Amino acid sequence: MVLGLTAALTWGSGDFAGGLLARRTPVLGVVLVSQLVGTVLALVMAVVRGETMPLLADLPWSILGGLTGGIGIVALYRGLAHGRMGVVAPVTGVLAAVIPVAFGVVVEGLPAATVIVGIGLAIVAVVLVSRVDDGRGGSSGIGLALVSGVAIGSFGIAINQISPGHAFGPLAIIRVSEAVLIGAIIVVGRQAWRSERRLLPAMAGVGVLDMAGNAGFILAVQAGSLAIAAVLSSLYPVTTVILATVVLRERVTRSHAVGIALAVTAIVCIATGST
């Protein structure tokens, strides 16, 4: 239980910090630094856990996970930076949970009734949350949230194909793939990415939080509590929304609160029914 909650707190805090940094410095720089830090941590954890080399069959799935994950995290941080975190986080979280389930329906047939209920709640939640006015006449970030949710959901499909017993080795490949993708975008598109040196520790901290979430989830699953770990860790958007409300004073209307509550309920239903 503690490890699952740790994953939710660190993932959600990492998203909040990444989005906040992207308001002050180019988002590509934030993602690049955080992923490079994540690569180093993943390699260290792989050695500490005594993992064998990743299987050849896992290589294409890891690379695909890196590409989809890279797109998802860039869209997420940009959405959190330029939109409302209270909109972007729950919408992304809902889609990230629904996409793998939709893939499972195509491959394996209809899921459990709990999952179906969760999908229905998710649709209502997205409608409610996306209709919220930011109070400033600006963008809510819903478009970027949709892109991020689909990409991160696709990432979930990819990493689900990785062989059991291998975790941090494939994660290192995923992080390298993400860093290469970001580097290519920077070079080919001539995008801004350099940041002030004083922000580098904070950017590295985002990478640490992200990997801490991964470690917490993996260790929770290995402790034999997959269902509990999946449900608790899936609550990470709640952490982001709470931080946005407390730190940034984002306005929460009644409709918005209901949408967020439905989004959380939907994620829990999907996570519970999928384990």
pLDDT > 70 fraction of the chain, expressed in percent and rounded? 91
Per-residue model confidence (pLDDT) at position 160: 80
Residue ranges making up the domain that contains 263:
2-273
The 3-state secondary structure of 79-143 reads: HHHHCCHHHHHHHHHHHHHHHHHHHHHHHHCCCCHHHHHHHHHHHHHHHHHHCCCCCCCCCCCHH
28-50 residue pLDDT tens: 999 999 999 999 999 998 888 88
Check: CB of residue 269 under 8 Å from CB of residue 121: yes
Tokens describing residue 199: 């922000």
The mean predicted confidence, pLDDT, of the chain is 86
Q: Is the pLDDT of residue 226 over 70?
A: no
Mean pLDDT of the 113-123 span:
88
pTM over 0.95: no
Per-residue model confidence (pLDDT) at position 16: 96
Residue 238 CB contacts under 8 Å (≥ 6 apart), including other chains: 8, 12, 260, 264
**Of 98, 151, 156, 153, which Cα lies nearest the Cα of 122?**
98
Per-residue model confidence (pLDDT) at position 29: 95
Residue 53 CB contacts under 8 Å (≥ 6 apart), including other chains: 169
Neighbours of 47 (CB within 10 A): 11
Domain count, the chain: 1
Q: Helix, strand, coil: what percent of the chain each, to 5?
A: 80, 0, 20
Residue 100 CB contacts under 8 Å (≥ 6 apart), including other chains: 153, 156, 157, 160, 274
Q: Is the pLDDT of residue 134 over 60?
A: no
271 — pLDDT class (breaks 50, 70, 90): confident
Say which range, 15-24, 70-79, 86-95, 96-105, has the weakest mean pLDDT.
96-105
Residue 93 identity (one-letter amino acid): G
Mean pLDDT of the 197-207 span:
94
Main-chain phi, psi angles of 3, to 5 degrees: -65, -40
240-270 residue pLDDT tens: 988 998 999 888 788 888 988 998 898 888 8
Compute the distance between CA of residue 24 and CA of residue 202 in angstroms, rounded to an integer.
12
Q: Is the pLDDT of residue 224 over 80?
A: no
Mean pLDDT of the 61-88 span:
93
236 — pLDDT class (breaks 50, 70, 90): confident
Check: CB of residue 40 under 8 Å from CB of residue 187: no
Per-residue model confidence (pLDDT) at position 89: 92
